[in-house]
Structure 1
């Protein structure tokens, strides 16, 4: 049970940190004159987040399948982790509309 708690806490922390750092990068891009360098940082950040969040999502899905008694807890953790997807799409939409139009 302690590993499950650690996985659940880690997934929530990872989702929050991904959101916070992504928001910070978006704010930097909107106020910085050197946008090209920040685009590169943002690109590699997105790749890193895809990998890290993907690994944690696979772990949560494995636990969701193998531990039926804890599915409601794990479903909430999975949804928290997946909540970053529409946020990233919104940020991408904002960047494209702000800088390329």
Structure 2
């Protein structure tokens, strides 16, 4: 009898990127609120947000490529994709609050 072992997808960078961008964007958002909506904070926050969008998009393309090519690891990769996508509604909420 054959035993089917499920391989795990050992990439940690995508979760670290998602958590790191979440922590930094949350810090900048709180700093913006505490500073009475100072435009000086936005000078730092907007370039960070633009670079975070680019980096997260690159990581998403990488994960989608791995999802397509590594059939045996799809469950693990799908979880990492969902973690990466979880930043979108949070960032949108921050954007709505800042723009009001």
Task: Pick the TM interval, shorter chain.
Answer: 0.7 to 0.9
Question: Which has more radius of gyration?
Answer: 2
Kindly report structure 1 stretches of 4+ aligned residues shifted beyond 2 Å: none
- The gaps in structure 1 that reach 5 residues or longer are none
Q: TM-score, normalised by structure 1?
A: 0.85
Deviations 1:23-62 (A, max 9, x none): 0000100111571121121110111101111111111110
- The gaps in structure 2 that reach 5 residues or longer are 1-6
Pair 1:96 & 2:99 matched: yes
Q: TM-score, normalised by structure 2?
A: 0.86
Q: Aligned Cα RMSD in Å? A: 1.7
Query: How many correspondences in the alignment?
Result: 94
Name the counterpart of 2:73: 70
